């Protein structure tokens, strides 16, 4: 069974995913990295040249492929839940955990993350704070429908987030 991390960019999916995979002895897969490796270009380049629709199609293919993995921790891209069939594919062989954080925390994490420019092109072209607020408002019900449970990462260390996740996995038939 896979452990799938979903949520907005900057909520900690990759950081938590890497640490969780180490703690549980599972393989880690970040779908954004997977797509960039497969297409051999950064996400920002894909979006600039072909647009978001092109990237979302590549994301859908990637989700279909990585969903077939066994015993993997998967960090899905922030918008992965938007693609038809993506959530179903991820849930077929996985427990889906929504990572959440405050808008201010997300903004600060994105400012200090080296991946922001390469993997996180603007979604709306608006002021970053306003963009986060608007996109979260739209996505929140989609994330909540997709998740098995959520963890707020706003003021927690990675170890605290891991402890909370591991403590809740038993309910889903996973013995960490």
pLDDT at 173: 77
Find out whether 67 and 41 touch, Cβ atoms under 8 Å: no
Task: Examine residue 18 and state whether it is found in any structural domain, yes or no.
Answer: yes
Task: Examine residue 41 and state whether it is found in any structural domain, yes or no.
Answer: yes
pTM: 0.92
Residue 108's CATH number: 3.40.50.300
Instruction: Extract the residue ranges of the chain whose pLDDT is less than 50.
Output: 116, 118-119
Task: Examine residue 175 and state whether it is found in any structural domain, yes or no.
Answer: no
Q: Please report, for residues 42, 86, 147, 148, 173, the alpha-carbon distance to residue 57 in angstroms, rounded to integers and kept in the order given.
A: 15, 11, 22, 25, 32
pLDDT at 110: 83
Name the residue range of residue 141's domain.
Answer: 2-165
Q: How many domains, the chain?
A: 1
Task: Examine residue 173 and state whether it is found in any structural domain, yes or no.
Answer: no
pLDDT at 97: 98
Q: What is the DSSP letter of 125?
A: S
Task: Examine residue 172 and state whether it is found in any structural domain, yes or no.
Answer: no
Task: Examine residue 119 and state whether it is found in any structural domain, yes or no.
Answer: yes
pLDDT at 114: 63
Task: Examine residue 123 and state whether it is found in any structural domain, yes or no.
Answer: yes
CA distance 173 to 94: 11
pLDDT at 30: 96
């Amino acid at each position: 069974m896979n452990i799938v991390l979903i949520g907005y960019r900057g909520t900690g999916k990759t950081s938590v995913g890497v640490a969780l995979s180490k703690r549980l002895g599972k393989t880690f897969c970040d779908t954004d990295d997977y797509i960039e490796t497969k297409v051999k270009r950064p996400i920002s380049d894909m979006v600039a040249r072909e647009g978001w629709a092109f990237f979302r199609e590549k994301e859908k293919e990637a989700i279909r492929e990585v969903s077939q993995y066994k015993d993997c921790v998967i960090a899905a891209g922030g918008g992965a839940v938007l693609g038809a069939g993506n959530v179903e594919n991820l849930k077929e062989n996985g427990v889906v955990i929504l990572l959440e954080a405050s808008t201010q925390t997300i903004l600060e994490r994105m400012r200090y993350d080296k991946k922001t420019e390469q993997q996180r092109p603007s979604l709306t072209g608006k002021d970053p704070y306003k963009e986060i607020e608007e996109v979260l408002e739209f996505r929140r019900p989609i994330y909540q429908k997709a998740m098995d449970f959520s963890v707020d990462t706003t003021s927690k260390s990675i170890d605290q987030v891991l402890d909370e996740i591991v403590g809740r996995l038993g309910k889903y038939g996973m013995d960490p």
